[in-house]
Amino acid sequence: MPESLYRTIAVDLRQRIESGELPAGSQLENEQELVDRYGASRNTIRQAIRWLTNRRLVESRPGQGTFVVKIDPVVTTLSADWKSDKGLSGGEGKAAFEEAEARNLEMRADPLLTVEPRFAEGIVASLLQIQEGTGVILRQKRRYIKNKPWSLETSYYPMKYIDQGASLLRSKSDIEQGVVAYLKEQLGVKQIGFRDHIVVRAPDDDEARYFQLPDDGTISVIVVFRTGFADDPKGPTPFRLTINVYPADTNQFVINSGEVGEVFANPIAFMTSSAESDDSLIK
């Protein structure tokens, strides 16, 4: 099937990885050795490695070598109803911490947030259903798991809440009880629902730097836009927007609806093999 030379070499290397000859974490032969082994030019070998890199099977590090990737995905539950309703009342920060704890992951967040006033634009204005140019407060938080960057969370709140007395929104430190609970206590703004909008795209420069993703754009990020809706005489009204960005190669998401047994699901390990065609077929 693979007609071109670099494809043939790539498929052969993939087979060697999947057969266990090259286990996760192990180092490939260097490029010169691969040149000798396959009798191809160095450019062709590099093209084959690029094919494997695009599939997250290997990873090259300058000065060191090329290594078989070991993946250990983190699973995050997006649904709010997994336990009483932490997600609806506490905010996703708290929920994420509790889930991480239940999964035995060392999670932490930067104690300092980036807090900036902005004019609402584009998506922000559109999802919050406010005029472009309206004042909003941006609050950005970095989260880490095992000291490695895990998520970048950016929240937007209409500026009017500060004017109305929710002055903690300006503070650069975390709001203890969660912003949703705080806004309810302070202003009586009650969240009655939310919408998650999930998008996969290439990281921008900031994201690539923060997550230490290769700058060639081959590893995507998953972006979750969560719009919170508050009770209002005119019907559910958007009052907050939280955008979470995660590297797509190491993160999975779960949504529970109705009754589903245990609330926390395990990561799905996909057969790197694409062999799934005939193995399980009853003939």
Environment class of residue 116 by beta-carbon count within 10 Å: exposed (0-12), middle (13-18) or buried (19+)? Answer: exposed
Residue 12 vs 249, nearer CB to its own copies:
249
**Cα angle, residue 269 at apex, residues 19 and 98 outer, rounded to 5°:** 150
Task: Indicate which of its own copies, DNA, none lies near residue 176 (CB less than 5 to 8 Å, by partner kind).
Answer: none
Which of residues 34, 58, 100, 248 is near its own copies by CB under 8 A? 248
Stretch that binds its own copies, among 18-26, 160-168, 174-182, 185-193 (CB under 8 A): 185-193
- Identified binder of its own copies from the candidate list 114, 171, 188, 192, rule CB under 8 A: 192
SS3 213: coil
Q: Does 70 bind its own copies (CB under 8 A)?
A: no
Q: Is 165 exposed, middle or buried (0-12, 13-18, 19+ CB in 10 A)?
A: exposed
The owner of tokens 């082994």 is 37
Name the residue nearer to its own copies (CB basis): 109 or 138.
Answer: 138
Chain residues 16-55 in contact with its own copies, contact rule CB under 8 A: 50-51, 54-55
Tell me the C-alpha to C-alpha distance, in Å, between residue 166 and each of 1, 90, 169, 171, 183.
63, 17, 6, 10, 7
Task: Please select the residue that binds its own copies; options are 32, 117, 146, 163, rule is CB under 8 A.
Answer: 117
CB of 13 to DNA, least distance (A): 12
Q: Which stretch binds its own copies (CB under 8 A): 19-27, 97-105, 175-183, 235-243?
A: 235-243
Please tell me whether residue 215 binds its own copies under the rule CB under 8 A.
yes
**Which residue, 60 or 79, is less far from its own copies as judged by CB?**
79
Among 8, 56, 59, 164, binds its own copies (CB under 8 A): 56
Closest approach, Cβ 239 to DNA, in A, equals: 44
The entry of DNA, its own copies, none near residue 62 (CB within 5 to 8 angstroms by kind) is: DNA
- Left (φ > 0), alpha (ψ -120 to 50) or beta: where does 10 sit? alpha
**Contacts to DNA by CB under 7 A:** 4-7, 28, 30-32, 39-44, 46-47, 49, 60-66
d(CA 151, CA 12): 35
Q: The tokens of 265 are what?
A: 């699901």
Q: Does 121 bind its own copies (CB under 8 A)?
A: yes
Q: Which residues contact 69 (CB under 8 A, 6 or more apart)?
A: 24, 56, 57, 58, 59
The angle, 0 to 180 degrees and rounded to 10, between the axes of the packed helices 42-54 and 31-38 is 110
Least separation in angstroms between CB 55 and its own copies: 4
**CA distances in angstroms from 186 to 120, 130, 134, 164, 190, listed in the order given:** 23, 22, 22, 9, 10
Shortest distance, CB of residue 198 to its own copies, whole angstroms? 4
Q: How far is the CB of 208 from DNA (least distance, A)?
A: 13
Beta strands in 20-163 (DSSP E): 58-61, 65-68, 74-77, 107-109, 114-119, 135-145, 148-158
Among 16, 42, 118, 172, contact with its own copies (rule: CB under 8 A): 118
